[in-house]
């Protein structure tokens, strides 16, 4: 199974949760592929946020409105509760201050959607058991060149949310693009969460 089909399953799961005509902010939007997909599937509007020059150019070429910004510095240009959804796709694990960006997501948006590679996936555990750092479809880098500094498991993230009164609305777990329902913390490679503030 290649990266593209994993991405598409990921996109489809997100599109399933996003209401039509929603205002969306996509953090770390890359070349704008997810945003463009959601525009087509759900007629969303809004912006991508991206730091990399090449990705910013690709967004313009893809017709996606993009704001060039380092997410580590927060989302100051964006007002409170100005989006229906704030998406952070495959980026959390590479951020220095993960807690801060999740708080920013819930400040700027009514709900958040987050995807990250599940470090608890059995293949990752097997790598570690064998004394090696995991390398896989969802964690494609070697230990020495990985941008990922804050990896976690499904259980870690859910505990994080419950300690901070973050309400998990929905969860989808994928392996090779297919949904996983049994023992997701062991059998799931990619986690997708839909969450909001408590209450």
Partner 1 sequence: MDATDLKTTASAGVVTPQRAAFREPLRLKCGRAIANYELAYETYGNLNATCSNAVLVCHALNASHHVAGVYADEPNNVGWWDNMIGPGKPLDTNRFFVVGVNNLGGCHGSTGPQSINPETGQPWGADFPLVTVEDWVNAQARLADQLGIQQFAAVMGGSLGAMQCLQWSIAYPQRTRHALVIACAPNLSAQNIAFNEVARQAILTDPDFHNGDYYAQNVTPRRGLRVARMVGHITYLSDDEMASKFGRTLKHGRVNYSFDTEFEIESYLRYQADKFAGYFDANTYLRITKALDYFDPAFEHNGDLAKALAGATAGFLVVSFTTDWRFSPERSREIVHALLKNKRDVTYAEIDAPHGHDAFLLDDARYHKLVAAYFARIDAEGKS
> Can you give the binding site for partner 1, defined by CB under 8 A?
23, 45, 47, 53, 56-57, 59-61, 63, 65-69, 76-79, 82
The radius of gyration of the chain from alpha carbons, rounded to an integer in Å, stands at 16
Using the minimum distance from each CB to partner 1, give the nearer residue, 51 or 183. Answer: 51
Q: How far apart are CA 46 and CA 134, in angstroms?
A: 36
- Whole-number minimum distance, CB 15 to partner 1, in Å? 22
Q: How far apart are CA 164 and CA 96, in angstroms?
A: 19
CA distances to 39, 114, 149 from 119, rounded to whole Å, are: 31, 15, 12
- Whole-number minimum distance, CB 23 to partner 1, in Å? 8
Using the minimum distance from each CB to partner 1, give the nearer residue, 3 or 63. Answer: 63
Give the three-state DSSP class for 154.
helix
Using the minimum distance from each CB to partner 1, give the nearer residue, 17 or 78. Answer: 78
- Whole-number minimum distance, CB 42 to partner 1, in Å? 17
Please give the full DSSP string across 90-134, using - where no structure is assigned.
S-GGG-S-HHHHHHHHHHHEEEEEEEEEBTTSHHHHHHHHTTS--
Using the minimum distance from each CB to partner 1, give the nearer residue, 66 or 166. Answer: 66
- Whole-number minimum distance, CB 28 to partner 1, in Å? 16
């Amino acid at each position: 199974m290649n990266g593209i089909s994993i991405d598409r399953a990921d996109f489809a799961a997100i599109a399933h949760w996003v209401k039509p005509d929603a205002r969306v902010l996509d953090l770390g939007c890359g070349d704008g592929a997810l945003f463009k997909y959601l525009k087509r599937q759900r007629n969303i509007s809004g912006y991508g946020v991206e730091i990399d020059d090449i990705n910013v150019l690709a967004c313009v070429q893809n017709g996606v409105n993009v704001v060039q910004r380092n997410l580590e510095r927060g989302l100051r240009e964006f007002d409170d509760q100005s989006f229906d959804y704030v998406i952070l796709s495959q980026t959390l694990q590479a951020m220095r201050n993960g807690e801060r960006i999740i708080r920013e997501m819930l400040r700027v948006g009514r709900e958040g959607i987050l995807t990250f590679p599940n470090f608890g996936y059995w293949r990752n555990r097997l790598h570690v058991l064998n004394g090696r750092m995991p390398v896989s479809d969802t964690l494609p880098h070697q230990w020495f060149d990985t941008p990922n500094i804050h990896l976690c498991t499904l259980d870690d993230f859910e505990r994080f949310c419950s300690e901070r009164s973050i309400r998990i609305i929905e969860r989808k777990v994928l392996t090779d693009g297919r949904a996983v329902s049994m023992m997701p913390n062991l059998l799931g490679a990619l986690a997708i969460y839909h969450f909001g503030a408590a209450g």
